[in-house]
Structure formats: structure tokens, C-alpha cells
Amino acid sequence: MALSLGLTNLILFFVAGSLLYYYSATFRYYFKVCFLNGWMLGMSLVVLPVVALRGRDVANMRVLRFVMLPVKYILGLEIRVQGATNLNLKGPYVVVANHQGNVDFLGMFQILPERCTVIAKRELFYLFTIGLVCWLSGFLLVDFKEAMDSIVSVTADSLVQDNVPVIPVVMSSYQHFLKEKTKRFTSGEVTIRILPPVSTKGLGPANVLELTKRVQETMCFTFDEISGDVGSKSGSKPDNHQRSDIC
């Protein structure tokens, strides 16, 4: 009798949850946000022993990619990549991308090579096992100001020593399917446009600020362009774009 009652309550719980998910945009928003964060935490617990055995190594990015790529299907997101061949370079290069939120991780693992180093905010390290797994995967965890200084410093050194190219990567606005203010998180599309490499050949440290400004302006223009395209295809105007950190 108790088992039957428990099973009935469980069924009613799932039915009620399904109805709320289908009819309540607010419930759906919190469910998807919690699911994404919960998935990241849960998978970090699962893969921690695996990446810990190898030690701190950028090769652990393969493991992160494996556990994160399926999430886009569960959340109902389609990620379209444009210009993927621009990453087919021999030798090192620096990728500069815009930032909007945790959904960025899905796009990042979609395009980044298996062996690479990612600069992320230091606060990530304090997110329980998530930060530890990221650190073991070679992430450079610094505060925001240091992150910007590090990028400029790395770029300057590359300009002088190795002429390492810079590849801008722009992800479209999430506003047509994800809006925190109105608690809306639906299915949708994200366009990632990988721009042609920006050559640093012949430049020096004195040209770094000029180069940074030029890349930023190009990325902002691209952000508006692909966000408008995605918004029109989804049937809604991308008003008040989620202006990312790059703009």
C-alpha cells in the first residue's frame, strides 16, 4: 500500500512538473538554468577522477568537450558555426571571443581545438569541483583586470617574437531565446562566426592598442550582424541585444 502510494505521488510529481514546464515560461527558465548548472557540477564530479589521474594537462579538454557537447540537444539549442576553416592554421594562434553567460561554454567546446589554454575568471575556481576540473584542464584562472592585461601581454609578446595571428570569434546574442529579465529560456539558435585571422606580422608592442581596438570594432559589428540575422529567422526582433563583454 505504501509502495503504491509512493509510486502514485511520484507519477503526479512528474505530471505536474511536465505541465509546469510546458505552460510556465518562468518554471521552464529556472529549470533550464538549474539543469545547465547542475549538469556542469554533476559532470565535474564524474570526470574529476579521470582528469586528476592525468594531472594538469590541456589534453583534459577532450573530456570536458565529451561531457558538455550533449547539453545543447537537451536544452533545445542549435549551434551553427560559420568560418570553421579559419581555425585550420598550422602553429599557435590567439582566439578572442565575446562573453554573455554560461551558455558560452557550449559554444566554446563546439569550436575550440582539443589542445588549447582558456583564460577564465578566477571566481570559476571557487565553484566546487567545476573550478578544479577546469584548472586541471589547463584553464588560466585570473581576475578580470588581470585577464585583460594577460591578453594584451601575450599578444604583445607574440607580436614581437612569433607573429602569432589573432582569430576573433563572435557568438550571436541569446536574447531571442534567453532573457533573464523576463525569465524566458526557450529553444533557439546560436550562430558562431569565426572571422579570418588577423595578421600581426610586422607589428610591435606600440601597435597593440590599435590592434585591440580594430579587432573589437570588427567583433561588435559582427555581433550586431549575426544577432540580427538569427533574430529575424526566429521570428522576433533582437531588440536590446545582450551586449557582450567585447562591446
pLDDT on residue 74: 92
Question: What sections of the chain are H helices per DSSP?
Answer: 2-23, 25-54, 61-68, 71-74, 104-111, 128-136, 144-161, 208-233
DSSP letter for 237, please.
-
Mean of the per-residue pLDDT values of the chain: 83
pLDDT digits (tens, 9 = 90+) for 162-194: 778 889 999 999 999 999 999 999 999 999 999
* DSSP symbols for 205-233: GGGHHHHHHHHHHHHHHHHHHHHHHHHHH
Residue 5 has pLDDT above 80, yes or no: no
pLDDT digits (tens, 9 = 90+) for 59-108: 999 999 999 999 999 999 999 999 999 999 888 888 989 988 889 989 98
